[in-house]
Amino acid sequence: MTALDGNEMVLNMGPQHPSTHGVLRIVLKLDGERVKSTDCIIGYLHRGVEKIAENRTYTQFAPYVDRMDYLAAVSNGLGYCLAVEKLLNAVATPRAQAVRVILTELNRIASHLLWLGTHALDIGAITPLFYTLREREAVLKIFENYCGARLTTHAFRIGGLQYELYEGFEREVESFCGQFLGKVDEYEELLSGNRIWRERLRGVGVIDAATCKQYGVTGPVLRAAGVGWDLRKAQPYSGYEQYEFDVPVRTSGDTLDRYFVRLDEMRESVRIIRQAVANIPAGPIMAKVPKVIKPAVGEAYVSIEAPKGELGYFIVSDGTTQPYRLRVRPPSFVNLQALGHMAQGALVADVVAIIGTIDIVLGEVDR
């Protein structure tokens, strides 16, 4: 950071500040109330996940990925399993794929719900958090019934699933979907038409499509900037090509449009879940994969559309039971880099809105 002139001041935001959604420290250089530059200090949650991977077997490492984006542990697990399966040249069974899609989309809803509640809280609307956590609870209950865990689920195994569906799974999922769309409309009633909400978000933290591509920004942030790109459509995995759904797109690239994109994504997730849960194929839940996972020498990059954007795994195998190198391409880390651009010239109070709207999880930024 360059030296300050007489009118400038430096404000230290975080690391222990609720609006940074974890332990993120931002050094803001201000001119009056306007942000001149930002410097993100990250790494407070660095646990060396990639190093740990090199010292665990493929099977042992699977639970660790849940602890990166802990709000979307199911997505993390799906990406990891797909990457290892790619190296093994294995494909999960149709039944496992359908269950994976259902749980991953439920997780997308849960992740977006927590985002919506906390983002609204940051902006000053306290009420939505209570509603969104109520609905999220229903999703977590399904996870708990399925695998015993609510947050760090470790729901999938390399080659398929560990557990068969429990009695009543389809009914519970269907009943959640049935009432949830009405709840999304309720959030809209609370927020979308609310003048304070709109004025507070419109035109704040604008990022256009070209800048998104320059930074490698993906996920809802990219889609709110007019690029209808979603890996589930562009390069379908786990059978997403069988389901009918739309990719919500908005064009102004501001905080308000990112809010609308995520709301619509929750509705689309419900559409996918309903199609999947109505047609879960019968059959085994595990493909034929060896008991000891030992991929041939080689490397692969596999990515999925996580709730926050493109989540990628690059794995190098040296033919042993442990990855030689495992790299995680975290959407939060890459998206957070665009904060400096989005906050340029913004008011200090808007920085809070912008951090919220990127939807970062520091566990994933720092890994």
The residue ranges that bind other proteins (CB under 8 A) are 42-43, 46, 48, 50-52, 54-55, 86-87, 89, 213-217, 227, 229, 234-235, 296-301, 303, 310, 312, 314, 316, 324-325, 327, 329, 333-334, 337, 366-367
Q: How far is CA 77 from CA 144, 147, 233, in A?
A: 16, 13, 20
Q: How far is the CB of 219 from other proteins (least distance, A)?
A: 13
Nearer to other proteins, 52 or 129 (CB): 52
Q: How far is the CB of 315 from other proteins (least distance, A)?
A: 11
Q: What is the DSSP string of 236-289?
A: --TTGGGS-------SS-SHHHHHHHHHHHHHHHHHHHHHHHHTPPPS-SB---
Nearer to other proteins, 213 or 271 (CB): 213
Nearer to other proteins, 203 or 298 (CB): 298
Closest-CA residue to 296 (of 324, 273, 272):
324
Q: How far is CA 296 from CA 83, 132, 249, 291, in A?
A: 13, 45, 41, 15
Q: How far is the CB of 40 from other proteins (least distance, A)?
A: 9
Q: How far is the CB of 187 from other proteins (least distance, A)?
A: 31
Nearer to other proteins, 277 or 304 (CB): 304
Nearer to other proteins, 90 or 201 (CB): 90
Q: How far is the CB of 310 from other proteins (least distance, A)?
A: 7
Rounded to the nearest 10 degrees, what angle do helices 94-123 and 73-88 cross at? Answer: 150
Nearer to other proteins, 86 or 250 (CB): 86
Instruction: Give the amino acid at 81.
Output: C
Q: What is the DSSP string of 316-357?
A: EE-SSSSEEEEEEE-HHHHHHTTHHHHHTT-BHHHHHHHHHH
DSSP structural state of residue 29: E
Residue 151 CB neighbour total at 10 angstroms: 13
Nearer to other proteins, 75 or 303 (CB): 303
Q: How far is the CB of 221 from other proteins (least distance, A)?
A: 13
Q: How far is the CB of 261 from other proteins (least distance, A)?
A: 17
Nearer to other proteins, 128 or 248 (CB): 248
| Cα 133 → chain centroid | 17
Nearer to other proteins, 87 or 358 (CB): 87
d(CA 23, CA 127) in angstroms, rounded, equals 25
- Pair of tokens at residue 89: 């040249």
d(CA 266, CA 263) in angstroms, rounded, equals 5
d(CA 312, CA 300) in angstroms, rounded, equals 10
Q: How far is the CB of 342 from other proteins (least distance, A)?
A: 13
Q: How far is the CB of 190 from other proteins (least distance, A)?
A: 35
- Pair of tokens at residue 22: 């974890």
Buried b (16+ CB within 10 A) or exposed e, 328-359: bbbbbbbbbbbbebbbeebeeebbbbbbbbbb
